[in-house]
Amino acid sequence: MRIIGIDPGLTRCGIGIIAAGPGRSVAFEHVEVLRSPADAEPAARIHQIGSSIERLLDGQRPGAIALERVFAQDNVASVMGVAQISGVVMYLAAHRDIPVGLYSPNEVKSQVTGYGSADKAQVTAMVTRLLGLGAPPKPADAADALALAIAHAWQLGRAGAARHGARGGDGLAETPALRAWREAERRAGKRRGPRG
Protein backbone atom coordinates (compact mmCIF):
# COMPACT_ATOMS: atom_id res chain seq x y z
CA MET A 1 0.00 0.00 0.00
CA ARG A 2 1.23 3.50 -0.80
CA ILE A 3 1.20 5.85 2.20
CA ILE A 4 1.80 9.59 2.13
CA GLY A 5 3.15 11.16 5.29
CA ILE A 6 2.50 14.89 5.63
CA ASP A 7 4.31 17.16 8.09
CA PRO A 8 2.00 20.17 7.68
CA GLY A 9 3.15 23.75 7.64
CA LEU A 10 2.48 26.95 5.80
CA THR A 11 6.12 27.91 5.13
CA ARG A 12 7.39 24.33 4.71
CA CYS A 13 5.21 21.24 4.29
CA GLY A 14 7.04 17.91 4.26
CA ILE A 15 5.74 15.16 2.00
CA GLY A 16 7.06 11.60 2.27
CA ILE A 17 5.76 8.68 0.23
CA ILE A 18 6.50 5.04 0.98
CA ALA A 19 5.24 1.65 -0.11
CA ALA A 20 4.23 -0.55 2.82
CA GLY A 21 4.46 -4.29 2.38
CA PRO A 22 3.74 -7.30 4.58
CA GLY A 23 5.02 -7.23 8.12
CA ARG A 24 7.12 -4.15 8.76
CA SER A 25 8.60 -3.83 5.27
CA VAL A 26 8.67 -0.28 3.92
CA ALA A 27 10.22 1.09 0.73
CA PHE A 28 11.04 4.66 -0.22
CA GLU A 29 9.15 6.19 -3.14
CA HIS A 30 9.36 9.98 -2.96
CA VAL A 31 10.09 12.93 -0.69
CA GLU A 32 9.78 16.68 -1.13
CA VAL A 33 9.15 19.83 0.82
CA LEU A 34 6.44 22.19 -0.42
CA ARG A 35 7.09 25.87 0.30
CA SER A 36 5.20 29.14 0.24
CA PRO A 37 6.65 32.65 0.63
CA ALA A 38 6.27 34.07 4.14
CA ASP A 39 5.47 37.52 2.78
CA ALA A 40 2.51 36.38 0.64
CA GLU A 41 -1.13 36.66 1.71
CA PRO A 42 -2.30 33.68 3.83
CA ALA A 43 -5.01 32.70 1.32
CA ALA A 44 -2.47 32.59 -1.51
CA ARG A 45 -0.06 30.54 0.61
CA ILE A 46 -2.78 28.03 1.58
CA HIS A 47 -3.82 27.76 -2.07
CA GLN A 48 -0.23 27.18 -3.21
CA ILE A 49 0.45 24.41 -0.69
CA GLY A 50 -3.05 22.92 -1.08
CA SER A 51 -2.77 22.77 -4.88
CA SER A 52 0.54 20.91 -4.61
CA ILE A 53 -0.93 18.42 -2.14
CA GLU A 54 -3.92 17.92 -4.43
CA ARG A 55 -1.56 17.21 -7.35
CA LEU A 56 0.31 14.61 -5.28
CA LEU A 57 -2.85 12.87 -4.06
CA ASP A 58 -4.25 12.62 -7.58
CA GLY A 59 -0.93 11.54 -9.09
CA GLN A 60 0.18 9.07 -6.41
CA ARG A 61 -3.27 7.70 -5.44
CA PRO A 62 -2.30 6.67 -1.89
CA GLY A 63 -4.16 4.10 0.17
CA ALA A 64 -3.70 6.17 3.33
CA ILE A 65 -2.37 9.47 4.66
CA ALA A 66 -0.44 9.96 7.89
CA LEU A 67 -0.75 13.52 9.19
CA GLU A 68 0.94 15.13 12.16
CA ARG A 69 -1.63 16.04 14.80
CA VAL A 70 -1.82 19.75 15.64
CA PHE A 71 -0.57 20.45 19.13
CA ALA A 72 -0.25 23.66 21.15
CA GLN A 73 3.02 25.55 21.12
CA ASP A 74 4.13 28.97 22.28
CA ASN A 75 4.24 30.19 18.68
CA VAL A 76 0.57 30.75 17.81
CA ALA A 77 1.34 31.83 14.22
CA SER A 78 3.11 28.53 13.60
CA VAL A 79 0.24 26.53 15.09
CA MET A 80 -2.23 28.39 12.88
CA GLY A 81 -0.26 27.52 9.73
CA VAL A 82 -0.08 23.86 10.73
CA ALA A 83 -3.82 23.81 11.49
CA GLN A 84 -4.71 25.50 8.21
CA ILE A 85 -2.73 23.05 6.10
CA SER A 86 -4.01 20.11 8.18
CA GLY A 87 -7.56 21.21 7.38
CA VAL A 88 -6.75 21.35 3.68
CA VAL A 89 -5.25 17.84 3.80
CA MET A 90 -8.27 16.41 5.63
CA TYR A 91 -10.66 18.06 3.18
CA LEU A 92 -8.77 16.76 0.13
CA ALA A 93 -8.50 13.28 1.66
CA ALA A 94 -12.19 13.07 2.54
CA HIS A 95 -13.11 14.22 -0.97
CA ARG A 96 -11.11 11.25 -2.33
CA ASP A 97 -12.14 8.70 0.35
CA ILE A 98 -8.54 8.39 1.57
CA PRO A 99 -8.33 7.50 5.27
CA VAL A 100 -6.18 9.78 7.44
CA GLY A 101 -4.25 8.73 10.54
CA LEU A 102 -3.28 11.46 13.02
CA TYR A 103 -0.09 11.18 15.08
CA SER A 104 1.60 13.35 17.67
CA PRO A 105 5.35 13.93 17.24
CA ASN A 106 6.02 11.74 20.30
CA GLU A 107 3.96 8.87 18.86
CA VAL A 108 5.98 9.00 15.64
CA LYS A 109 9.31 9.16 17.49
CA SER A 110 8.30 6.22 19.67
CA GLN A 111 7.26 4.10 16.67
CA VAL A 112 10.30 4.88 14.52
CA THR A 113 13.09 5.06 17.12
CA GLY A 114 11.59 3.26 20.10
CA TYR A 115 12.00 6.41 22.18
CA GLY A 116 9.29 9.08 22.43
CA SER A 117 11.76 11.84 23.31
CA ALA A 118 14.18 11.16 20.43
CA ASP A 119 15.64 14.26 18.80
CA LYS A 120 15.35 15.14 15.11
CA ALA A 121 18.80 13.74 14.33
CA GLN A 122 17.83 10.34 15.77
CA VAL A 123 14.57 10.28 13.81
CA THR A 124 16.38 11.24 10.59
CA ALA A 125 19.03 8.55 11.16
CA MET A 126 16.39 5.84 11.68
CA VAL A 127 14.36 6.95 8.65
CA THR A 128 17.53 6.86 6.54
CA ARG A 129 18.38 3.37 7.78
CA LEU A 130 14.85 1.91 7.57
CA LEU A 131 14.37 3.10 3.99
CA GLY A 132 17.92 2.28 2.87
CA LEU A 133 18.60 5.83 1.71
CA GLY A 134 22.07 6.86 0.55
CA ALA A 135 21.84 10.16 2.42
CA PRO A 136 19.58 11.62 5.12
CA PRO A 137 16.49 13.40 3.76
CA LYS A 138 16.73 17.17 4.28
CA PRO A 139 15.41 19.43 5.63
CA ALA A 140 13.96 17.95 8.81
CA ASP A 141 10.41 18.37 7.43
CA ALA A 142 11.24 15.74 4.77
CA ALA A 143 12.49 13.21 7.33
CA ASP A 144 9.50 13.93 9.58
CA ALA A 145 7.07 13.25 6.72
CA LEU A 146 8.74 9.92 5.94
CA ALA A 147 8.71 9.03 9.67
CA LEU A 148 4.95 9.73 9.76
CA ALA A 149 4.39 7.40 6.80
CA ILE A 150 6.49 4.64 8.40
CA ALA A 151 4.68 4.98 11.74
CA HIS A 152 1.32 4.72 9.99
CA ALA A 153 2.40 1.69 7.96
CA TRP A 154 3.45 -0.12 11.12
CA GLN A 155 0.29 0.91 12.95
CA LEU A 156 -1.87 -0.44 10.13
CA GLY A 157 0.21 -3.62 10.03
CA ARG A 158 -0.29 -4.23 13.75
CA ALA A 159 -4.03 -3.58 13.51
CA GLY A 160 -4.31 -5.86 10.50
CA ALA A 161 -2.30 -8.60 12.19
CA ALA A 162 -4.46 -8.36 15.31
CA ARG A 163 -7.58 -8.61 13.20
CA HIS A 164 -6.30 -11.60 11.24
CA GLY A 165 -5.12 -13.38 14.40
CA ALA A 166 -8.38 -12.96 16.31
CA ARG A 167 -11.20 -15.52 16.28
CA GLY A 168 -13.97 -12.98 15.70
CA GLY A 169 -15.14 -10.21 17.98
CA ASP A 170 -11.69 -8.64 18.04
CA GLY A 171 -13.16 -5.19 18.53
CA LEU A 172 -11.33 -3.54 15.63
CA ALA A 173 -13.52 -1.35 13.48
CA GLU A 174 -13.74 -2.17 9.79
CA THR A 175 -12.10 0.96 8.47
CA PRO A 176 -11.06 1.83 4.89
CA ALA A 177 -7.42 1.80 6.01
CA LEU A 178 -7.69 -1.74 7.42
CA ARG A 179 -9.48 -2.96 4.30
CA ALA A 180 -6.77 -1.44 2.09
CA TRP A 181 -4.03 -3.00 4.24
CA ARG A 182 -5.60 -6.46 4.04
CA GLU A 183 -5.98 -6.11 0.27
CA ALA A 184 -2.29 -5.15 -0.05
CA GLU A 185 -1.28 -8.17 2.06
CA ARG A 186 -3.53 -10.45 -0.01
CA ARG A 187 -1.97 -9.22 -3.26
CA ALA A 188 1.55 -9.56 -1.88
CA GLY A 189 0.75 -13.15 -0.87
CA LYS A 190 -0.43 -13.97 -4.40
CA ARG A 191 2.78 -12.54 -5.91
CA ARG A 192 4.97 -14.60 -3.57
CA GLY A 193 3.11 -17.77 -4.41
CA PRO A 194 2.70 -20.84 -2.19
CA ARG A 195 5.32 -21.52 0.42
CA GLY A 196 7.25 -24.73 0.00
Return the active site residues.
Answer: 7, 68, 141
Dihedrals φ, ψ of 94, to 5°? -60, -35
Q: Which residue type is seen at 56?
A: L
Separation CA 29–CA 16 (nearest Å): 8
Residue 141 annotated as lining a ligand binding site:
yes
Q: What radius of gyration do the chain's Cα atoms show?
A: 17
Which own/partner pairs from 109-116 qualify as long-range (CB within 8 Å, at least 24 positions apart)? 109/147, 111/147, 111/150, 111/151, 111/154, 111/155, 112/147, 112/150, 112/151
Dihedrals φ, ψ of 60, to 5°? -90, -25
Residue 39 annotated as lining a ligand binding site:
no
Residue 144 annotated as lining a ligand binding site:
no
Burial of 128 (0-12, 13-18, 19+ CB in 10 A): middle
Contact between residue 37 and residue 10 where contact means Cβ atoms under 8 Å apart:
no
Annotated binding site: 7, 68, 141
Annotated binding site for Mg(2+): 7, 68, 141
